[in-house]
Structure formats: C-alpha cells, structure tokens
C-alpha cells in the first residue's frame, strides 16, 4: 500500500510536470490575453478602449459644468478629457455636503447601518479636494469595484449607501476624490494604502482607526507593529475577499503572520507543535497583532493566563506548586514548536537537570549507557524519563504530592 | 427546495435581529481562542474559493499592487459578479459553495505525525460548505461555514448580524489530538480511573519475566483526545458609541494521555522499585464566559470586561496497580499491599477576571491609557488520603529501629489537617502608558506596569491521627524499601526527629514591575528609528532570589526605501542581575523549620550546591539581532528574507550557562498573472544550549562534610562536575505552485522538514556517573545517538470545472517520514525492562501514508 501511494504520487507529479511545462507558453499568451497584465503606461487611447461606457457618456456630459475647476498638472489626459469621461456626481458638491456627507444618517429612521455616517478621510496632500461620490470613482475603477464588492468591508459601505442614498463610500478611506479625478496619475491626490502611497504610514493607519479604534485596537499606538511602521494594509486588504474573515491580505491569519515571521512559521513544522499547520488554530488565538498591554502581544495579563485559556486544568491552583510552572509556562515549553515531546525546549531529563542539582538522584550525568540498549538501563532517561515518576509536574493536589509523584 | 432551506436559514436568524444601530466593531483579535476554523485538508478553511479571477484586480494597471512593506497582494478570488436573490423580488442575495466527496487512506495511516491533529478517515468527507447571504439594503447578513473530515475533526460556524451594528455567532467544532498511535498499555481499564493488571499477573507479586510474557499479548492502541467545543456569542452596539458583548463557550475534552506510576527507583536497586508508564483518563469540561462593555468615543475609549472560566475534571484520581514486588534493603519485609498507586488528577477550578481599560486621546497625536485588572483562581477540591494501602508498611529493623507505619493511620481523610485544598491565587494589574508625538517626526512613549500574583494557599502536612508531619512518599514504596525514608517527621520520635521532609505547601507568587520609555524618530520620509529602554523588576516569593532586575535596550531601524525594499532591523541588549542568591529558600516549608527538629551531629545533607543558578533567576547578558527584508523583484515577484541571532550568557557555574540561536529564511513569491502563482521558501535554524551540573559524592552523605554546599567541597567535588551540550539544527523548505489552465486548475505543494538533534556531554571523572565501574564508564561515550525528525509532504490536486455550477477536485497527499529519539531506543524489543513498564513505543521510525480524495464542487 505504501508503494501504491508512492506510485500514485509520482504519477500525479509527472502529470503535473507535463502540465506545468505548458505554463510558460500560456503565460506569454496571458500577457496579451488579459488586459490586467498589459503594459502599465496608459495612453488616452487605452483609456478610451478600456472605459467604453465612459466615452459613450462623454457626449451627454459635454455640457456639464465641472464643479471642481482648478489648475491641473500635466498628465496623459487633459482636464477636458476627464470632464467628458467622468459621469456627473450624484452627491451634492457644496462645502456643507463635504463637511457632513451623511448629515441625515443618524436622524433618519431608515438609516441602514453605521456606515451611513462614515466620515470622509482627510488627505493632507490634497487639502482642497472635495468628495465626488462612489459613482464617479467606479467609472474608472470598474473592476476594483467588482472585486471589492465581495469584501465584507465594501459590502458594509454599500449597505450604508443603500440607506441614505449616494455616499462617498470610497472616499471614506481614500479621501475626497476631486483632485485625483482631475489628475489621476499624480500620486498623493488620493490616499493610497499600497507600496507607492504618498501618505505616511501613520496617516494610513489613522484612516482605518478613524472607524476601527478602540476594542482590540485600543493599544495600537505604541505597539511593536506600530513602531515597526506597519500599515493596516500590510496585513489587511479590504478591497478583496481573500480570507474567510478579517479582510486579510492573504488567505489566512497564519499566512499573514508568516510573511514576516517565517522563523516562527518554521517552528510549527517541528515534531510537537500547536495545530496551526493543520488549520485548527491561528497566531491570533494567542496574540493580538494590534497591540496589547502585555509583552509579545499576548492577549492576557500573563503568558500563563493565555495558556490556561485552553489548558484550564493547568490553572489550579494546586496544593503543591512547581515554581517555574506557576510563573511562566515558557520556562519549559516553546509554544510554537519543538523537536522534543510536548513542546519542551530540551529533552528530559536535561530539561530538568538545568535546575535540579539536588543531592540524590537528580544530579547524575545520564549517558547512553542508561538507554534501553545500554548496559545499565535507567528510568530517568527512557520514555518519559523524569516524568515517569514526577508525573504531576504541573502541580499536585495530593497531600503526598510535594514531589509531584502523586 | 434548496432556496427555501437557504431562505429559512437566513431569514430566521436575521429577521429577529433587525434594527438600526450606530457603530459597532467586533474584536476577534482581542479574544483568546476559536479565531481559526480549518483542518488539515484545508488549513485556511476557504481554499476552494481562492482560485484567482483571471481578470485580475484592475483594468487600469497590470498585476497587483504591493503592501506598504512591498509584498504583492494576492489576486482577488474569482466570484460570480452577481449573487442570486434568495427568492423572487427579495432584497436578500446569496452565494455558496459545497465540496463533498470521498477520501481514501493508504499506507501507514496510523502514523503519529500523519494524524497528530488530523482526524483522517476513509469515507465521505465534507470539504467545505460555505453559504453567505446578505441584504444590501439593510446591511444584514448570514454566513455559515463548515467542514467535516470525521466525527473527531469537524467544525461548523454560523454568523449573522448587521454590518457595524450587531453580530451573533454560534459554533461547534471537534479538534483531535493523537498523542501516540503506537501505545501498548499493559493495564485493563485504560480511559478509566482504575488500571488493573491483566491475568495472570498478580499485583505486587509478579516478576519482570511474567510481565514481559503478558507484554507480548498487548495490542496497539492510540492514546489521544478530542476537544469538542461549542459556543455562542452576541455583540451589539446598543447605544451610540457603546458596545456590549457576551459569549459562552463550553468544551468537553475526552480521551486519555500517557501518564506515570512511581514505586521508587529501579536504576539504583535492580529487581526492586518500579517505574510505570501508564495512561490517564481525560474527562474535562470547561465553560468560559465573557461579558464586556466598551465605549469608543472621539476622545475617550473605555473597556470593561469580565472573564470567567470554570473547569471541571470528571475524573479526579487515577489508581493503578504495580505488578512488581518491593524488597526492603534491610530488616523484615513489609507486609502491606504497597503495590497500589494513586494520582490526584487536576482539581476543578474557578477563575474570574475583571478588567477596566481607559484611554484618552491627547494633544500632539498622543494617547494616555490606564488599565486595572483583578483576577482570582480558586479550587477547593476534597483531598485524597495520603495513601491507599492497608496493613503495615515500612520496615521493621529492630525494636529500636521500627520504621513501620500503619496504613490505617494514613489511608483516610482523617489523616489530613484539612479536608479540602482551599487553594487560591489572586492577581492584580495596574498599567499606565502615555504616547505623544509633539512633532510629525518625533514621538515619545513611556509606560509603567505593575502585576502581582498572590498565592494564598496554606496547607500544612500534619496528620492529627499520629501527630506526625509530612507525607507517605511514593505510595509507601520508598519507606518500604529504604528504612526510615517514609517521608514523615515526628519531633517526639528520635527515628524521625531529624528527617527532612516538606511539611507545608509553598505559596509561590511574585510582583512584577516594568517601566519602559522610548522615542520614535522619523529620520527621513522612509527611515524610522526607535529606541526603547525598559527596566523590569521581578520580586518572586520563596524563590532563590527575592529580587531580579533586567534592563533592556532595543534599537529598531525601519528603512522603507532600501532600493525597492523594506528593511526592518532590530537589536536588543539586555542585562539581568539581582539580589543575593539563596540556594535553599525552601527551608521554612520543610521539617527543619519546625520546633523539635534535631539537627544531626554531621549536619543535614546540603540541599544542593550553592553554585547552582536557576536560569529563570540567574544573571544574564543577552544580545538579539533580527533583520527582515522584503524586496520586490520586478512587478510580479517578491523576495523575503529574515536573519536572526540570539546569544544568552548566564552567570552560572552550575545550571544553564549559554544558549545560542541563529538562522535564516528565504522566500520567493512570483505571481506573473492571475492564472499562475509560485512560491518557494528555504530556511535553516541552529540552536545550542549548554548547562552544567555536579553529581553529589554519595560516599560523603554519611560522613563529615555532607552539609557543605560549596562547589569543589566534599559533597560536590569538582571531579563530579559534568556538562551537557545540546545542539539542534532544522532545515525547512517548501514549494507551492498553482496554475489555471482554464477548465482545469492544478496545484502542487511540497514541504520538507528535517531536524537533527545532538546531545553531547563531558565529565570530569567517572564520579559524575551513576555507576562508576569501568565497563559502564566505557559505555558512557560522549554523546547520545542523534535524534532526527524528517518529513516530506507532497500534495497535488486538480480542480476540473464541468459547468459554472459543477466541478470536481481530485487530489493526492503523500507523506513520508522518519524519526529517531533515543528515549525510545530499544523499547521496540521490550517494553518491560526490569521493574519498568513502558506503554509508548514512540513515533514510527519510518512511515509513508497516502490520501486520495475525489470531491464534487457545487457552486450554490
């Protein structure tokens, strides 16, 4: 059966290799076939080709007065082009509308969700820009709109818009879009959250925290991830649904964390490990990446309290305690993974003998002579070693258990 | 029919929860546990829905954008652009996915590492059932996700609510954990609280040969457990900025685990004593309750949370029988039934924690946070009697050396000073933190944290029936082999008035205070420096040191424009020292502190050497270096690399002396188009740990000098010193490849893990060894056989689309591994070695297992 399994795997591997050999050819074709993989420098013709709906609408918009008239920097397209291409905003464009884009959200009994009242982010790089509404954004960002529609984040904004009419949904995060609409290729006129963003990391995080502050993120400021200049969008991508929940930038929490913490990911491949590779647990079960009051982003006041959340039997308190156990589980265990049994940081009895030098049997040097194959088998070495007798090592509730024998 | 079912599910939950709300925010990342739902077949819990949309993300630019750090975002998964309405003219729309099929296992499917946390089973399996319905007009939604590999490995979770308003969540899941699949327990009653010997073995009257004969008939078993968890939670933004939540989670944990069974040392007394590897039952119930309230205002943020956890162990003890006879080394043989062992299993416990946290936004983009928490953990389980034997235990040497004890004086709870444990630990936390950014390029933060763990347990080991202190060691076996080593102190009896034994529980506790401050300086648009200083003061109670201080400086540099990449570089230096080191701080809890204790003329044998330094309290100098580089390659690839090194030096002649760790990881991710993605990673980690110990000179324990704790003294001569050298090396590699051929999509993944463990040792003379005769010294060598752990896992799958709605997935997972651990070396030949009985053969030395699956995919 073992050989059968191997043969099956080899056969499938060969099949895959054949298929993969077609990949390069297909990839070359894909570069042509898929607009998304075409060259990035856009010409006016490109724009017209890609946005047929907009160009078709250009005629009907030709006589519209542009409410956002302002000097325009040089770009591939002229102001007139954009005037013609963008649909008329369905938002009011006066100053009050931008200051209070959803003034009626909390008044109307029909308000759908709190997203009706989402504020518009301020973009310090475009201080005079005003909101133009999602309809205008989507005119160009059509596919983004489609993909983002599957994200819970955008669905929520959409529901908000459904409650109160036209909304600055996109601009709640990206800031007012008028300046960007006039000069779409100039960086910084819209708040971006990607590698090339001109907005500082803190400013990016500030946009997210405008709605998401408090709760799990109450200690974001000063946290190790904040200090290391991580933006929310290093871990999250609210523009697509890549994960079951959490609008993550990758498919799971563990994958997101492993982007930087590859060494920790590797530990989960070791002999004993928490069940992260098996999908039963995530890093965020124990750590809050948004910041905590405790070291190492542990969620609870101490490491032990986090461990007790699953290992409640270890909580005790016991009649007889083992000092390092009570203080810190990490004295003996590596919670991420270990090459020893039960996540131990060293094999027993060596683990114990680092501290236990007491007179009597603990302080002998145990060697290979004491293995079951040696001339003097020794129970301190074989199987569970010390734990064969000192079994209740996490604490004993037995009146005769001071040495954890009972 | 299908739509009716879906409609019923969606409407029934959502309709009852309708209603307008203001902001709400779920806080999964603040909750411990049940964040992730997946299994070994699909660790993401979402894999079938992750094939990328061939259109990519944008018409406006090629490829995907990168995260601020430079990692490429994944292409968005392909979805139907429009969801189906639940019924005609309904505002509710839905989408869903069902993957159902058959798994077939082959090869060594019981291999421990193949199924450690995976409930693989040949038969029907539910890969994924995902259903999502929402009402775009009201923002209400219902979401369900479930998977089932087997009865012991399944999850189902339902969420419903309204965006930004409220959420209700219910889940049910089973998580397997096979501890060993290679167990051969000797006893009857595995899984119960009473392990009895199979016929024809006689408790306390069987020879190793007789036990070994029965051993041949043992059958292979799996020792493991299943966690069955179910929970319900509700969170609601009930008034403006105020959100409340409540959750209850119940876990039933059942199964068994490897356990022990002492009947005193065998190594020093051949054909005597007993060391038994047994198995204990797991029958736990834990109920966790969380109730909280928070206010998130523009200036103030406030949280109040109560967490309660109530653990119940439905099996409070484990009784086991030892087959071996014990022989007293002097005097008249004991007559009691010293073959019955007993363990107290974990007591029930209650835990409460109340926590309040208040933050206020300050000028200069600052924040002040204050937090306070109080907690308590308590248990008051009835205490078991000190022994279970009947008759007379111990040893009668002569009328003036009568070291016997009457079991009846110790085998009832009347022998205890208190009937229940009455154990309690209270905790307290105060935390203050302030952060200010007076200038755009400059920030400052400082924090002060105080935490105390106050152990209020007070137990005196006093037997009111006999007026004696202490306990009966190792089920009475020790005192029935070695005259006088019963474990009791009696100031009225000269035989026991000098006996050193523990008579009180030690209420370990500590107070931990941390002050930290630091600055953030944005040197340039893309360069940031952080400098943090922290001072930790640990004040443990009843430990070798009453005061341990650690100062730590951490310097971080983030360069977000290193070429095209992002570099994060951290260096830490820490220095730990503290107050005087007391090598024996436990004396107040031993009989030596009781009135009537008579110090022997030669003094008490030194507890340990005064050169010992326990590594959680000893002086330490630490250096840590960690670098992370994320570097874009072109528009479609990314290289990520990390390198790290840690060096710890402890100020200990005896104890842990040094650790070293260094390693690197290198990853390459390439997604040339939505149709193709490839990633590969390679890593290596090296670590070492050295410690030293010293064997006591057993010739001196009855002679002058036995009370001398000094290293190099008569009891701990330098000639008996030894050193252990542990070195581990790990290699990791992986490759994943996905390609969309159109109607057929293929995925391949390969994972390689190799860990090598070496333990060497050096010793000054044979005095360090338990047996000093030359043949045994010669056999000692200078190292244990190497340990290794070597796993290769290959997975290959094809997704074939028949239509928009129907498709199929065919996949194969092939895993092969090899393993060696000297703990188990030789046990394959015999699980009974003199008076030792082993249950676990250890993980399989070699295995290969194969899993084939054929699944039907249905888009709903």
Taking contacts as CB-CB distances below 8 angstroms, the residues of chain B near A320 are: 502, 505-506
Please judge whether A36 and B607 are an interchain contact, meaning their C-beta atoms are less than 8 angstroms apart.
no
**pLDDT at B249 > cutoff 80:** yes
Look at the block and give the residue holding tokens 């994944």: B74
Q: B732-756, pLDDT tens digit by residue? A: 999 999 999 999 999 999 999 999 9
| Mean pLDDT of all residues in B690-704 | 94
Q: Please, are residues B566 and B558 in contact by the beta-carbon 8 Å criterion?
A: yes
Query: In the prediction, which pLDDT does B558 show?
Result: 96
| Mean pLDDT of all residues in A314-330 | 96
ipTM of predicted complex:
0.94
CA distances from A92 to A102, A103, A173, B289 (A): 11, 12, 19, 48
- Of B277, B278, B309, the closest CA to residue B291 belongs to B309
Residue A25 has φ and ψ, to the nearest 5°, of: -65, -45
Taking contacts as CB-CB distances below 8 angstroms, the residues of chain B near A385 are: 823
Please work out, in degrees rounded to the nearest 5, the angle formed at the alpha carbon of residue B288 by the alpha carbons of B253 and B379. Answer: 80
Write the DSSP symbol of residue A18: H
Q: Please, are residues A101 and A164 in contact by the beta-carbon 8 Å criterion?
A: no
- Helix, strand, or coil here: A72? coil
A63: contact with B, CB 8 A cutoff:
no
Taking contacts as CB-CB distances below 8 angstroms, the residues of chain B near A310 are: 33
Please judge whether A266 and B693 are an interchain contact, meaning their C-beta atoms are less than 8 angstroms apart.
no
Please judge whether B35 and A212 are an interchain contact, meaning their C-beta atoms are less than 8 angstroms apart.
no
Which band of pLDDT confidence, cut at 50, 70 and 90, is reported for residue A16? very low
Among A228, A320, A385, beta carbon nearest to B558: A228
Q: Please, are residues B761 and B777 in contact by the beta-carbon 8 Å criterion?
A: no
Query: In the prediction, which pLDDT does A42 show?
Result: 39
* Cα–Cα distance, B569 to B528 (Å, whole number): 11
Taking contacts as CB-CB distances below 8 angstroms, the residues of chain B near A231 are: 67-69
Structure tokens at B770: 């338990």
Residue A305 has φ and ψ, to the nearest 5°, of: -65, -35
Please judge whether A20 and B294 are an interchain contact, meaning their C-beta atoms are less than 8 angstroms apart.
no
Q: Which residue has the higher pLDDT, B438 or A4?
A: B438
Cα B208 to the center of its chain, rounded Å: 36
Interface probe for A, chosen from B14, B22, B29 (most Cβ of A below 10 Å), is: B29
Please judge whether A216 and B28 are an interchain contact, meaning their C-beta atoms are less than 8 angstroms apart.
yes
Residue B243: closest C-alpha in chain A: A215
A336: contact with B, CB 8 A cutoff:
no
Please judge whether A293 and B433 are an interchain contact, meaning their C-beta atoms are less than 8 angstroms apart.
yes
Please judge whether A2 and B848 are an interchain contact, meaning their C-beta atoms are less than 8 angstroms apart.
yes
Please judge whether A328 and B616 are an interchain contact, meaning their C-beta atoms are less than 8 angstroms apart.
yes
Taking contacts as CB-CB distances below 8 angstroms, the residues of chain A near B301 are: 213-214, 218
* Cα–Cα distance, B134 to B91 (Å, whole number): 8
Q: How far is B324 from chain A (nearest CA, A)?
A: 15
Which band of pLDDT confidence, cut at 50, 70 and 90, is reported for residue B534? very high
Q: How far is B239 from chain A (nearest CA, A)?
A: 12
- Helix, strand, or coil here: A211? helix
Look at the block and give the residue holding tokens 């119930």: B285
Q: How far is B625 from chain A (nearest CA, A)?
A: 13
Q: How far is B484 from chain A (nearest CA, A)?
A: 16
Please judge whether B68 and A353 are an interchain contact, meaning their C-beta atoms are less than 8 angstroms apart.
no
**pLDDT at B7 > cutoff 50:** no
A310: contact with B, CB 8 A cutoff:
yes
**pLDDT at B619 > cutoff 60:** yes
Among B45, B295, B794, beta carbon nearest to A244: B45
| Mean pLDDT of all residues in B666-676 | 96
Q: How far is B148 from chain A (nearest CA, A)?
A: 13
Look at the block and give the residue holding tokens 């490491």: A303
Residue B382: closest C-alpha in chain A: A397
Q: Which residue has the higher pLDDT, B658 or A213?
A: B658
Beta strands per DSSP E along B264-365? 275-276, 278-296, 300-313, 317-321, 340-344, 349-362
* Cα–Cα distance, A271 to A273 (Å, whole number): 6
| Mean pLDDT of all residues in A94-102 | 54
- Of B32, B21, B302, the closest CA to residue B167 belongs to B21
Q: Which residue has the higher pLDDT, B859 or B79?
A: B859
Cα torsion B408, B409, B410, B416: sign: positive
Taking contacts as CB-CB distances below 8 angstroms, the residues of chain A near B32 are: 285-286, 299-300, 306, 309
B388: Cβ contacts below 8 Å, ≥ 6 apart: B319, B340, B341, B342, B411, B475
Q: What are the helix and strand counts (H, E) for chain B? A: 4, 39
Q: How far is A375 from chain B (nearest CA, A)?
A: 7
Q: Strand pairing of B846-859 and B93-107?
A: antiparallel
Among B65, B759, B775, beta carbon nearest to A195: B65
Q: Please, are residues B48 and B128 in contact by the beta-carbon 8 Å criterion?
A: yes
| Mean pLDDT of all residues in A70-74 | 37
Which band of pLDDT confidence, cut at 50, 70 and 90, is reported for residue B4? very low
Lowest mean pLDDT segment, chosen from A159-163, B377-381, B464-468: A159-163
Among A140, A369, A397, beta carbon nearest to B421: A397
**pLDDT at A8 > cutoff 50:** no
Query: In the prediction, which pLDDT does B579 show?
Result: 97
Please judge whether A243 and B44 are an interchain contact, meaning their C-beta atoms are less than 8 angstroms apart.
yes
Which band of pLDDT confidence, cut at 50, 70 and 90, is reported for residue A82? low
Please work out, in degrees rounded to the nearest 5, the angle formed at the alpha carbon of residue A368 by the alpha carbons of A366 and A370. Answer: 60
Taking contacts as CB-CB distances below 8 angstroms, the residues of chain B near A143 are: 55-59
Among B268, B508, B830, beta carbon nearest to A323: B508
Please judge whether B294 and A300 are an interchain contact, meaning their C-beta atoms are less than 8 angstroms apart.
no
Domain range list for chain A: 76-218+236-247, 316-388
Query: In the prediction, which pLDDT does B92 show?
Result: 93
* Cα–Cα distance, A358 to B186 (Å, whole number): 33
Among A36, A309, A371, beta carbon nearest to B57: A36
**pLDDT at A119 > cutoff 50:** yes
A234: contact with B, CB 8 A cutoff:
yes
Residue B329 Ramachandran class (φ > 0 left, ψ -120 to 50 alpha, else beta): alpha
Residue B689: closest C-alpha in chain A: A346
Q: B174-198, pLDDT tens digit by residue? A: 999 999 999 999 999 999 999 999 9
Q: How far is B603 from chain A (nearest CA, A)?
A: 14
B218: Cβ contacts below 8 Å, ≥ 6 apart: B184, B185, B186, B831
* Cα–Cα distance, B387 to B159 (Å, whole number): 52
Among A237, A371, A399, beta carbon nearest to B822: A371
Q: How far is A180 from chain B (nearest CA, A)?
A: 14
Q: Please, are residues B859 and B804 in contact by the beta-carbon 8 Å criterion?
A: yes
Q: Please, are residues A3 and B788 in contact by the beta-carbon 8 Å criterion?
A: no
Q: Please, are residues A112 and A163 in contact by the beta-carbon 8 Å criterion?
A: yes
Interface of A with B in 95-124 (CB under 8 A): 106, 109-115, 117
3-state helix, strand, coil in chain B (%, to 5): 10, 55, 40
Please judge whether B76 and A315 are an interchain contact, meaning their C-beta atoms are less than 8 angstroms apart.
no
Interface probe for B, chosen from A383, A385, A390 (most Cβ of B below 10 Å), is: A383
Taking contacts as CB-CB distances below 8 angstroms, the residues of chain B near A300 are: 32
Could you tell me how many CB contacts below 8 A there are between chain A and chain B?
A: 709
- Helix, strand, or coil here: B391? coil
**pLDDT at A28 > cutoff 50:** no
Among A26, A312, A397, beta carbon nearest to B286: A312
- Of B228, B221, B230, the closest CA to residue B179 belongs to B221
Q: Please, are residues A397 and B381 in contact by the beta-carbon 8 Å criterion?
A: yes
Q: How far is A189 from chain B (nearest CA, A)?
A: 17
Structure tokens at B427: 């905790």
Q: Please, are residues B850 and A9 in contact by the beta-carbon 8 Å criterion?
A: yes
- Helix, strand, or coil here: B832? strand
Which band of pLDDT confidence, cut at 50, 70 and 90, is reported for residue B681? very high
Query: In the prediction, which pLDDT does B12 show?
Result: 38
Strand order through the sheet with B194-195 = B194-195, B317-321, B340-344
Q: What are the helix and strand counts (H, E) for chain A? A: 19, 0
Percent of chain B at pLDDT > 70 equals 96
Q: A121-177, pLDDT tens digit by residue? A: 889 899 999 888 888 888 999 999 999 988 888 888 777 766 666 566 788 899 999
- Helix, strand, or coil here: A310? coil
Which band of pLDDT confidence, cut at 50, 70 and 90, is reported for residue A77? low
Which band of pLDDT confidence, cut at 50, 70 and 90, is reported for residue B25? very low
Structure tokens at A30: 């894909």
Structure tokens at B812: 């194969």
Please judge whether B20 and A113 are an interchain contact, meaning their C-beta atoms are less than 8 angstroms apart.
yes
Taking contacts as CB-CB distances below 8 angstroms, the residues of chain A near B696 are: 359-360, 363
Taking contacts as CB-CB distances below 8 angstroms, the residues of chain B near A347 are: 726, 757, 759, 787, 823
Q: Please, are residues B374 and B428 in contact by the beta-carbon 8 Å criterion?
A: yes
Q: How far is A95 from chain B (nearest CA, A)?
A: 23
Look at the block and give the residue holding tokens 């029907």: B124
Among B57, B66, B130, beta carbon nearest to A144: B57
Q: Which residue has the higher pLDDT, A217 or B1?
A: A217
* Cα–Cα distance, B817 to B99 (Å, whole number): 29
* DSSP H/E element including A262: helix A262-267
């Amino acid at each position: 059966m073992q050989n059968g399994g191997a043969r099956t795997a080899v056969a499938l591997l060969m099949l895959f290799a054949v298929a993969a050999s077609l990949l390069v050819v297909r990839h070359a074709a894909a570069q042509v076939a898929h607009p998304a993989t075409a060259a990035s420098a856009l010409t006016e013709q490109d724009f017209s080709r890609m946005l047929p709906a907009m160009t078709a609408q250009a005629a009907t918009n030709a006589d519209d007065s542009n409410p956002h008239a302002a000097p325009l920097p040089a770009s591939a397209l002229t102001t007139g082009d954009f005037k013609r291409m963008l649909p008329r905003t369905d938002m009011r464009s006066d100053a009050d509308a931008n200051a209070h884009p959803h003034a009626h959200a909390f008044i109307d009994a029909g308000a759908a969700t709190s997203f009706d009242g989402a504020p518009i982010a301020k973009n310090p790089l475009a201080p005079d820009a005003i909101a133009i509404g999602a309809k205008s954004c989507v005119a160009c960002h059509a596919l983004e709109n489609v993909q983002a529609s599957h994200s819970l984040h955008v669905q929520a904004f959409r529901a908000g818009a459904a409650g109160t009419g036209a909304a600055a949904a996109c601009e709640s995060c990206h800031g007012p879009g008028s300046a960007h609409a006039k000069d779409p290729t100039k960086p910084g006129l819209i708040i971006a959250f990607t590698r090339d963003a001109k907005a500082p990391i803190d400013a990016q995080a500030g946009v997210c925290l405008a709605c998401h502050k408090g709760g799990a993120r109450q200690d974001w400021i000063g946290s190790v991830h904040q200090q290391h200049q991580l933006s929310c969008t290093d871990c999250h991508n609210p523009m697509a649904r890549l994960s079951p929940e959490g609008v993550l930038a990758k498919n799971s929490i563990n994958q997101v964390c492993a982007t930087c913490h590859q060494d920790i990911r590797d530990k989960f491949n070791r002999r004993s490990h928490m069940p992260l590779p098996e999908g039963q647990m995530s890093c965020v079960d124990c750590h809050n990446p948004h910041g905590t009051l405790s070291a190492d982003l542990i969620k609870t006041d101490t490491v032990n309290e986090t461990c007790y959340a699953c290992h409640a039997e270890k909580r005790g308190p016991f009649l007889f305690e083992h000092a390092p156990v009570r203080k810190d589980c990490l004295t003996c265990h590596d919670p991420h993974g270990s090459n020893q049994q039960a996540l131990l940081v060293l094999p027993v009895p060596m683990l114990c003998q680092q501290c236990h030098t007491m007179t009597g049997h603990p302080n002998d040097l145990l060697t290979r002579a004491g293995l079951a194959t040696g001339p003097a088998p020794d129970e301190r070495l074989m199987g569970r070693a010390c734990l064969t007798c000192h079994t209740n090592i996490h604490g004993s509730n037995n009146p005769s258990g001071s040495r954890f024998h009972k | 029919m299908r739509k009716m079912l879906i409609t019923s599910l969606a409407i029934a939950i959502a309709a009852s929860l309708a209603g307008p709300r203001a902001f709400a925010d779920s806080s999964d990342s603040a909750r411990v546990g049940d964040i992730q739902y997946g299994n070994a077949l699909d660790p993401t819990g979402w894999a079938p829905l992750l094939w990328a949309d061939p259109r990519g993300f944008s018409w406006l630019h090629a490829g995907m954008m990168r995260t601020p750090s430079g990692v490429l975002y994944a292409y968005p998964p392909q979805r139907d652009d429009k969801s189906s309405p639940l019924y005609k003219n309904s505002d509710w729309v839905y989408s869903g996915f069902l993957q159902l099929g058959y798994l077939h296992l082959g090869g060594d499917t019981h291999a421990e590492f193949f199924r450690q946390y995976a409930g693989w089973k040949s038969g029907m399996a539910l890969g994924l059932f995902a259903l999502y319905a929402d009402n775009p007009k009201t923002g209400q939604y219902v979401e369900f996700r479930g998977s089932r590999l087997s009865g012991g490995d399944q999850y189902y979770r339902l969420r419903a609510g309204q965006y930004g308003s409220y959420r209700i969540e219910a889940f049910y899941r089973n998580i397997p954990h096979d501890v060993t699949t290679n167990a051969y327990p000797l006893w009857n009653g595995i899984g119960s609280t009473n392990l009895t010997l199979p016929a024809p073995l006689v408790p306390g009257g069987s020879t190793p040969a007789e036990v070994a004969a029965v051993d041949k008939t043992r059958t292979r078993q799996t020792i493991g457990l299943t966690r069955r968890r179910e929970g319900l939670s509700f969170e609601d933004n009930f008034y403006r900025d105020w959100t409340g939540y409540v959750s209850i989670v119940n876990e039933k944990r059942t199964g068994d685990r490897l356990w022990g069974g002492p009947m005193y040392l065998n190594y020093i007394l051949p054909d005597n004593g007993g060391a038994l590897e047994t198995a204990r039952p797991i029958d736990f119930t834990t109920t966790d309750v969380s109730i909280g309230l928070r206010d998130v205002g523009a200036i103030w943020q406030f949280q109040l949370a109560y967490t309660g956890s109530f653990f119940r162990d439905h099996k409070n003890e484990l009784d086991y029988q030892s087959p071996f006879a014990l022989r007293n080394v002097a005097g008249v043989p004991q007559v009691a039934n010293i073959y019955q062992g007993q363990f107290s299993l974990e007591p029930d416990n209650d835990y409460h924690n109340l926590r309040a946290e208040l933050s206020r936004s300050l000028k200069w983009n600052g924040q002040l946070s204050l937090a306070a928490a109080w907690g308590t953990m308590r248990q008051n389980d009835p205490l078991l009697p000190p022994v279970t034997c009947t008759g007379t235990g111990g040893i009668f040497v002569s009328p003036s050396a009568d070291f016997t004890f009457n079991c009846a004086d110790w085998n009832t709870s009347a022998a205890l000073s208190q009937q229940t444990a009455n154990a309690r630990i209270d905790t307290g936390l105060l935390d203050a933190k302030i952060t200010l950014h007076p200038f755009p390029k400059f920030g400052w933060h400082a924090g002060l944290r105080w935490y105390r763990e106050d152990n209020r347990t007070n137990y005196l080991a006093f037997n009111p029936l006999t007026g004696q202190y202490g306990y009966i060691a190792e089920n009475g076996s020790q005192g029935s082999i070695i005259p006088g080593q019963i474990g009791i102190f009696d100031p009225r009896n000269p035989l026991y008035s000098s006996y050193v034994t523990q008579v009180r529980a030690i209420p370990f506790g500590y107070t931990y205070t941390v002050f930290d401050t630091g600055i953030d300086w944005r040197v340039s648009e893309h360069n940031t420096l952080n400098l943090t200083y922290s001072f930790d003061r640990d004040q443990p109670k009843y430990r070798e040191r009453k005061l341990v201080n650690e100062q730590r400086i951490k310097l971080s540099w983030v360069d977000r424009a290193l070429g095209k990449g992002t570099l994060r570089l951290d260096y830490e230096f820490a220095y730990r020292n503290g107050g005087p080191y007391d090598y024996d701080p436990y004396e107040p809890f031993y009989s030596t502190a009781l009135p009537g204790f008579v110090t022997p003329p030669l003094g008490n044998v030194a507890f340990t050497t005064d050169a010992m330094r326990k590594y959680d309290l000893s002086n330490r100098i630490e250096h840590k270096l960690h670098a992370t580089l994320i570097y874009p390659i072109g528009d479609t690839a990314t290289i990520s690399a990390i390198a790290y090194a840690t060096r710890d030096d402890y100020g200990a002649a005896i104890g842990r002396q040094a650790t070293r760790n260094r390693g690197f990881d290198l990853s390459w991710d390439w997604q040339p188009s939505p149709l193709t993605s490839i990633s590969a990673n390679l890593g290596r980690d090296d670590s070492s740990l050295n410690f030293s110990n010293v064997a006591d000179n057993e010739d001196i324990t009855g002679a002058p000098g036995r009370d001398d704790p000094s290293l190099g003294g008569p009891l701990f001569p330098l000639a008996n010193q030894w050193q252990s050298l542990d070195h581990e090396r790990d290699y990791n590699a992986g490759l994943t490849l996905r390609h969309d051929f159109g109607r057929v999509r293929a995925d391949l993944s390969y994972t390689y893990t190799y860990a090598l463990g070496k333990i060497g040792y050096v010793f000054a003379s044979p005095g360090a060894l338990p047996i000093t005769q030359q043949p045994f010294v010669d056999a000692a060598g200078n190292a244990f056989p190497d340990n290794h752990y070597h796993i290769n896992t290959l997975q290959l799958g094809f997704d074939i689309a028949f239509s928009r709605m129907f498709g199929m997935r065919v996949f194969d997972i092939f895993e092969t591994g090899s393993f060696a651990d000297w703990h188990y070396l030789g046990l394959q030949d015999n699980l009974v070695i003199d008076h030792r009985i082993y249950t676990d053969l250890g993980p399989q030395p070699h295995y290969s297992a194969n899993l084939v699956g054929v699944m039907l995919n249905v888009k709903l």
